[in-house]
Amino acid sequence: MIASIHYQNSDFRVDLSKPLDISISLRGDEKNPIAWYLEHPEIKPVVDGNFIGKVSAGASVNFNNISFNPHAHATHTECVGHITKEPNYIQQHLKRFFFKAEVISLEPEIAGKDHIFRKAQFENALKDSTAEAIIIRTLPNYIGKISRHHSHTNWPYLEEAAAIFLRDRGIDHLLTDQPSVDKEKDEGKILAHKAFWNYPKEIRYHATITELIYVPNKIEDGAYFLSLQPASFENDAAPSKPVLYNILDK
């Protein structure tokens, strides 16, 4: 199904029949991605006396409890409430769900034991001046990311200057295949988060960061139309399912 889109004073077509899902599914076992030193999520049937919420155990329906942490276990979208003292919820601040986006593939620079995305890399990689969202695919890219256990791995992260550049470039939505845009153990500085949200000065409440995505190699770098729709959680972050659509009029 081809749809004609009028967006930000431009017209283009997208193929809605061929969605490109860049989320990672939540599952209740060790094959789920894990970060921040937690165990894997649990998906278990409700047990109440003789009742077991499982059709194969005799119930009329499957009726599961799910226990997980959105930051540690799933593709999730977060707002500035992730770092504010006062409550701010993703459901409260994200009011639009479709954006012009650009996928870029970057290999982080090695600095001692760290792997860092530098400002200069984004300056060279970004081509679409109209993009509101950026999707970062870390190189090398491999299917094992969908079940990687990230704790104590010192994953690649953005330097503060890179986050400032993206903010000033007009990028409102930052998506990465890492558990965080900041260094795993940074003594609580969270410089990239703060820089991207412009915290605590003139806070960009509308801006979001989405982490733990997976961008398959079949998706080429370039411009896309992004659907970004977190679940309706009253929380700083919520599980989300970012989906890309090819723009046919590139």
**Complete DSSP assignment for 189-207:** --HHHHHHHT-SSS--TT-
Would you state the torsion angle of the CA atoms of residues 159, 136, 188, 169, taken in this order, to the nearest 10 degrees?
60
Q: What whole-number distance in Å separates Cα of residue 150 and Cα of residue 139?
A: 16
Strands 208-211 and 173-176: parallel
Give pLDDT tens digits along the chain (250 positions): 888 888 888 888 999 999 999 999 999 999 999 999 999 999 999 999 999 999 999 999 999 999 999 999 999 999 999 999 999 999 999 999 999 999 999 999 999 999 999 999 999 999 999 999 999 999 999 999 999 999 999 999 999 999 999 999 999 999 999 999 999 999 999 999 999 999 999 999 999 999 999 999 999 999 999 999 999 999 999 999 999 999 998 6
Which CATH superfamily is 2-24+75-246 part of? Putative cyclase (3.50.30.50)
Residue 198 token pair: 């412009």
Residue 206 token pair: 């509308």
- 249 Cβ neighbours under 8 A, 6+ residues apart: 11, 12, 13
Give Rg (Cα) of the chain. 19
Q: Quick one: 220 exposed, middle or buried, by C-beta within 10 A (0-12, 13-18, 19+)?
A: exposed
Q: What whole-number distance in Å separates Cα of residue 208 and Cα of residue 185?
A: 22
| Domains of the chain by residue range | 2-24+75-246, 27-68
Q: What whole-number distance in Å separates Cα of residue 185 and Cα of residue 137?
A: 22
CA distances from 70 to 51, 75, 83, 128, 244 (A): 29, 7, 15, 30, 21
Residue 91 token pair: 């459901």
249: DSSP letter: -
Residue 124 token pair: 């060279």
Q: Quick one: 5 exposed, middle or buried, by C-beta within 10 A (0-12, 13-18, 19+)?
A: middle
pTM above 0.95, yes or no: yes
| Longest Cα separation, the chain | 62
Q: What whole-number distance in Å separates Cα of residue 171 and Cα of residue 3?
A: 25
